[in-house]
Structure 1
Amino acid sequence: MGPSWVAGAIAAGPATIASLVTGGALFGYSLLWVVVLSAGAGALVQYLSMRLGLLTERGIVAVVEDHLGETWAWLLVADAVIASGVAQLVIMKTVATVSATVTGVDARVWGVAWALILAVGLAGRGYRFLELAAKLLVSLVVVAFVASLFVVPVDYGAAVAGLVPSIPSGGALVAAGILGGAVHITLITMQSYTMRSRGWTRDDYDTATFDIGASMLVAFGIYSLAIFLVTASVLTPDNTLTAVGAAQALGPLVGANAKWLFLLGLWGAAVSTLGGNTIVPPFLLADKLGWGTTIDDSRYRGLLVVVALLSAPGAFIGGAVLGQLVLVLALGTVGTPFAIAIVLYLLNSDAVPDRNSTLANVGGVALLGVTVYLAANFVREQVPDGVDPLAGNMAGLASIDPLPGAVLAFAIALGIAMAGLGVKYVAEELV
């Protein structure tokens, strides 16, 4: 096993924890169905990405450029780099904050320290070092959160009711965040590169499939369920919803053991995600520029160092980290449908020797529909009442805060690109 555990390390991160904590505290068990869906959806999208990577034995950007053109390749790179870059800063803030809470050392000092550790570790040791760390940290994080589940009283009867699909008022952002932890553009685009770094080919198809099931379906699924059930059972909207505050709130409610298990799990998840997320922009940019995607190429190694060091300013960002983490995942959800559409397009073209099966296509299209629905709900929540972006209400659009406004522009651009991709595919099939 290997590459999918790196994806799992990113998925099982503080942004996912933030969404799960927020969903459990604000809405109780009502979003449990989204938690269950996220594990299955995460495994499915990784399977589709794995097929594309193994059947072409190339990086996804190079395949897109060959079969769709340079513009589409740059659009995919921009989509992934924006989503992972914004996430990198907030994840670093989480790592630094939790490190400061555990050790008492200033979070800003930890931000600089972790950036240097990333630069030296990834640029000096390469992919196999990251994969080993991901396997170890994800395993320990899962154990920590499962252990916390055993010291917290869970109302399993109420939990079963949460398996009925519904989105409570104000819950679209959180639902998008929960699903975005498992179905994210960074996870989709990195899969072909991590498999190449591991040396896997078409002959490793069965191993790669098992790898996805073990890491995303089982490990990530258990991780998500444990965190959500703990927070839905204990936390309430009256609790201070911060990344560390959620762990600290467990202390007086259910004891110090739950507090420290949750806090250490958050720490491990943040560190593993920070390392995994760092390699995504260098992979995509190096492939687009025609460089190597291993540390044997000094240019790729330089990109690793740059991305690692640019993470440090995240520790200096103000504000409550939990809300920022949920927004980061939701932003990723906006960018994800385009990546899924790209993968489905290529898997049903002459880019691969064996086209997708009907079952895989049905699952992929269903997943595309779910992500589009959640992304659309999230974007709608960011737009002020009375604003119709399609009608060109510029006065209303001007009143949108800069960050939600940027998310809206991002969503519109990718929506147009997806529509163009659909038209292109239909036209080619008719010809």
Structure 2
Amino acid sequence: MGRTDEAVTNVTAVDTGQFGTYVREMGPSWVAGAIAAGPATMASVLTAGAAFGYALLWIVVLSAVLGALAQYLSMRLGLLTEDGIVSVVERHLGDSWAWILVVDAVLAAGLAQLVIMKGLADVSAAVTGVDARAWGVAWAVVLAAGLAGRGYRFVEMAAKLLVSAVVLAFLASLLVVPVDPAAAASGLVPRIPAGVDGALVAAGVLGGAVHITLVTMHSYTMRARGWTADDYGLATFDVAVSIFGAFGAFSVAIFLVAAGVLHDPTVAADELTAVAAARTLGPLVGPYAEWLFLLGLWGAAVSTLGGNTVVPPFLVADKLGWETDISDSRYRAALVAMALVSAAGAFVGGAFFPLLVLVLAFGLVGTPFVLVVVLYLLNSEAVPERNSASANLGGVALLAVAVVTAGSFVREQIAGGLTDPTTVFVAAFSAFVGVATVALVGRYLRERVTALGRGVEG
């Protein structure tokens, strides 16, 4: 380690005198932010405002806070171990746990990849009139060529530019959208509207920020930049600005615009379309609202697709002992394969807004497991200095919110009856990761009890 353990683990490690350098050098969390601030989150937040007014403002705000906390804990594990999360899990927990993590994350990222590609292809078709399936194939080829040729830094550069542009657009819209302060304030009181729709949308909103894909990718994006424990201050600043700052502003602004302009009690969460959502920008750009919204959605989909594509190859390469950059031909081939397979998303039926919300909620179901993994490792011999009490308290609170929100979604899905393949799959996946999560918590508690017993005997 380049610093003493005390300096490395200090949460106040940000040096305000390095502000200019931090702004120039930040980046890895912006890739996570590009995935978080993508079309899936836009769909969830817009749906929340359109279907329920200001009622879910609390979870939109909470998603930014908890999203930053989740990335901070992930960042901390990556910097203190200076290794990929899968390698750390394999070394300290065992091969089986590493495979469970890989399967959990790859499944969530893979499903998201297909739906995001569907959204990008559908938007491209709406703008050009060319068949969406042709666009899906074309975008897959472009994505494969771009990632194989330029790798991670290309994704990071696009993420910074596109996220910043989308955030500024929606912040500007708040200047003309009529926001009801009293109603908005009432939306800060935690409650989930009754029924499957409320639980699904709430899980989707939280899943946009607290997602297994974002948590698992962070150690790899920092390694791609060559960051070590000496960059703790820069990495902390990176998380705060990109996730809490940019992503938080993005989510709250979109939600307030939707609640103020688009809200209609008759809107069903599973019926919102991209064209209907485009009306949220009407006060800002008048008759050009639909086109500007579709272009914004297109930009968000491009940046999100690029960021999401690198996640499964990162995890699989780490598990198989490959290098996690394009200098390794095996990793490059995995990138190309992931990009090309995503073309299948353009052939998926249905409206992509409801599918995006469902994918985020599904990802949230798999997130408690990875949060337990991160907290376990941060309180083990895997790191030179274990978590502080405040970091653990925040992590447990984050885990509790994720479990309750995901559990509410799963419970409502099952209550509706196991009548379709999607519901059955969600239930089966939930059972799998639920058992794994409980087993890992049990293992940690047994180890702690054993250690305390040895301490008493000593």
Which TM-score band applies after superposition, normalised by the shorter structure?
over 0.9
CA contact (8 A) 2:204 2:364 kept: yes
Measured in 1, the distance between the counterparts of 2:411 and 2:364 equals 13
What is the TM-score normalised by the length of structure 1? 0.94
- Equivalent position to 1:214, from 224, 241, 244: 241
Give percent identity, aligned residues only: 70
User: Which position in structure 2 is the counterpart of 1:20?
Assistant: 45
Q: Cα offset for 1:103? A: 2.8
- Equivalent position to 2:80, from 39, 55, 60: 55
User: Which position in structure 2 is the counterpart of 1:178?
Assistant: 205
CA contact (8 A) 2:258 2:280 kept: no
Measured in 1, the distance between the counterparts of 2:344 and 2:89 equals 33
Measured in 2, the distance between the counterparts of 1:238 and 1:99 equals 29
CA contact (8 A) 2:61 2:252 kept: yes
Measured in 2, the distance between the counterparts of 1:299 and 1:245 equals 43
User: Which position in structure 1 is the counterpart of 2:277?
Assistant: 246
User: Which position in structure 1 is the counterpart of 2:433?
Assistant: 414
Q: Deviations over 1:219-254 (max 9, x none)?
A: 000100111111111112546511343115754998
Measured in 2, the distance between the counterparts of 1:119 and 1:183 equals 27
CA contact (8 A) 2:49 2:259 kept: yes
Measured in 2, the distance between the counterparts of 1:408 and 1:332 equals 13
Q: Secondary structure of the residue that 1:105 maps to in structure 2?
A: coil
User: Which position in structure 1 is the counterpart of 2:257?
Assistant: 230
Measured in 2, the distance between the counterparts of 1:405 and 1:260 equals 38
Q: Deviations over 1:301-347 (max 9, x none)?
A: 00000000001111111111111111000000100000000000000
Measured in 1, the distance between the counterparts of 2:182 and 2:329 equals 56
User: Which position in structure 1 is the counterpart of 2:93?
Assistant: 68
Runs of 4+ off more than 4 Å = 237-240, 248-254
Q: Deviations over 1:79-137 (max 9, x none)?
A: 00000000000000111111222233322222111111110111110111111111111
Count residues with an aligned counterpart. 419
User: Which position in structure 2 is the counterpart of 1:119?
Assistant: 144
Q: Deviations over 1:110-167 (max 9, x none)?
A: 2111111110111110111111111111111111222233332222221111111111
Equivalent residues in 2 for 1:294-373, closer than 5 Å: 294-373=325-404
Equivalent residues in 2 for 1:23-34, closer than 5 Å: 23-34=48-59
Measured in 2, the distance between the counterparts of 1:163 and 1:216 equals 20
1:285 and 2:285 equivalent? no
Structure 1 counterpart of 2:310, which letter? Answer: I
1:400 and 2:427 equivalent? no
- Equivalent position to 1:138, from 151, 155, 163: 163
Structure 2 counterpart of 1:202, which letter? Answer: A
CA contact (8 A) 2:309 2:335 kept: yes
Measured in 2, the distance between the counterparts of 1:254 and 1:48 equals 40
Q: Deviations over 1:40-99 (max 9, x none)?
A: 100000000000000000000000001100000000000000000000000001111112
CA contact (8 A) 2:86 2:98 kept: yes
Q: Cα offset for 1:271? A: 1.0
Measured in 2, the distance between the counterparts of 1:133 and 1:232 equals 29
Structure 2 counterpart of 1:410, which letter? Answer: F
Q: Deviations over 1:399-431 (max 9, x none)?
A: 431111111111111111111111111111122
User: Which position in structure 2 is the counterpart of 1:378?
Assistant: 409
Measured in 1, the distance between the counterparts of 2:360 and 2:205 equals 8
Measured in 2, the distance between the counterparts of 1:48 and 1:382 equals 30
What is the TM-score normalised by the length of structure 2? 0.89
Q: Deviations over 1:269-307 (max 9, x none)?
A: 111111100000000000000001000000000000000
Q: Where in structure 2 are there 5+ consecutive unaligned residues?
A: 1-25, 451-458
Q: Secondary structure of the residue that 1:311 maps to in structure 2?
A: helix
Measured in 1, the distance between the counterparts of 2:283 and 2:156 equals 37
User: Which position in structure 2 is the counterpart of 1:390?
Assistant: none
Structure 1 counterpart of 2:151, which letter? Answer: G
Structure 2 counterpart of 1:313, which letter? Answer: A
Measured in 2, the distance between the counterparts of 1:200 and 1:249 equals 40
1:159 and 2:178 equivalent? no
CA contact (8 A) 2:173 2:284 kept: no
Measured in 1, the distance between the counterparts of 2:275 and 2:388 equals 45
Measured in 2, the distance between the counterparts of 1:238 and 1:94 equals 24
CA contact (8 A) 1:148 1:257 kept: no
Q: Cα gap change, 1:106/1:148 in structure 2, threshold over 3 Å: closer, same or farther? A: farther
